[in-house]
């Protein structure tokens, strides 16, 4: 059974990690990033649920999260707001928060 996870808090923590990486460009990025993360919320919650139920193993979960990270990065790149290197750091920071949140909730 999946422990109750506060996806609003997780999303806000992901945004906070991104903000730390994108401090100077953050005002322009925040609204777009928040919308994109909220659009993924149900899919990310389903991945966590499947992992918790044993339907996904840890390796597959990490692979899917990496794919989600790449998709989000692509969408943000399309906005052409910040440089790719800055964006990459922000995405890695956000998905570290997500991965740690899921793994901590399960164990």
Report DSSP letters for the chain, one per residue: -PPP--HHHHHHHHHHHHHHHSTTTHHHHHHHHHHHHHHHHHHHHHHHHHHHHTSS-HHHHHHHHHHHHHHHHHHHHHHT-S-HHHHHHHHHHHHHHHHHHHHHHH-
Summarised one tens digit per residue, pLDDT across range 58-98 is 999 999 999 999 998 888 777 765 567 777 888 899 999 99
Given a cut of 80, is residue 101 above it in pLDDT?
yes
First vs last Cα of the chain: how many Å apart?
A: 12
- At 107, is the pLDDT very low, low, confident or very high (cuts 50, 70, 90)? low
Phi, psi of 43 (to 5 degrees): -65, -40
Q: Give me the pLDDT at residue 52, please.
A: 93
Q: Give me the pLDDT at residue 9, please.
A: 92
Angle between helices 58-79 and 84-106 (to 10 degrees): 150
Give the rounded percent of residues in the chain with a pLDDT score beyond 90: 42
Summarised one tens digit per residue, pLDDT across range 34-67 is 888 888 899 999 999 999 999 999 999 999 999 9
Q: Give me the pLDDT at residue 57, please.
A: 94
What is the average pLDDT across 13-35? 80
């Amino acid at each position: 059974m999946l422990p109750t996870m506060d996806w609003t808090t997780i999303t806000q923590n992901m945004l906070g990690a991104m903000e730390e990486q994108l401090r100077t460009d953050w005002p322009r990025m925040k609204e777009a990033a928040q919308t994109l993360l909220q659009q993924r919320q149900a899919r990310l919650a389903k991945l966590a649920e499947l992992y918790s139920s044993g339907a996904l193993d840890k390796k597959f979960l990490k692979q899917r999260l990496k794919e989600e990270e790449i998709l989000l990065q692509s969408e943000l790149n399309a906005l052409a707001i910040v440089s790719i290197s800055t964006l990459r750091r922000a995405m890695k920071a956000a998905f570290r928060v997500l991965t740690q949140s899921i793994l901590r909730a399960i164990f």
